[in-house]
Amino acid sequence: MATNIFEHIRKGHREVESLLEQLSSSYDRSTYDRLNQTLQAHMKAEEESLYPAMEGQESEMVQHAQEEHGQVRQLLQQLKQEGGAPSVLSQLAQAIQDHVQEEENEMFPRGQRMFDQMKIDELSQKFDEVDRRVVQQI
């Protein structure tokens, strides 16, 4: 069975935080590529599973999260173009930290109250499918 969507997203957050920490110590293209792949797959999976399911009741929260994803995508591109500029890396880390805190402290509790176990299982499977598909495409 698929990992619970909320657990899977939390695990992804920890992985991203670890990669950001590695890049902060020493920027290298290989670690950047892993971060980019992980984030692109993670964001797309959220956008195709959890966010649409929550949009009806939590449209402002979902819209805000999607705007944050846009900001992260721009900062990732800028980081690549500027070869790991510390100021851009710092902005990216802060944007991700803010987004993670909002998801884990606000969005997840609301989603867990909103969905029954069957819906959580369905969303978990969708998240896993999209995440795997995007990783293979990158």
Tell whether the model's pLDDT for residue 2 goes beyond 90: no
The yes-or-no verdict on residue 121 having pLDDT over 80 is yes
User: Which position has the higher pLDDT, 45 or 135?
Assistant: 45
Structure tokens at 120: 């959580």
CB–CB of 14/6 below 8 Å? Answer: no
Lowest mean pLDDT among 25-29, 57-61, 122-126, 134-138: 134-138
Average pLDDT over residues 33-60: 96
Buried b / exposed e over 41-69, threshold 16 CB at 10 Å, is bbbbbbebbbbebbeeebeebbeebeebb
Q: Is the pLDDT of residue 1 over 50?
A: no
| pLDDT at 8 exceeding the cut of 50 | yes
| pLDDT at residue 138 in the model | 81
Domains of the chain by start residue, with CATH: 5-137 (1.20.120.520)
pLDDT surpassing 60 at residue 64? yes
Q: What percent of the chain has pLDDT over 70?
A: 98
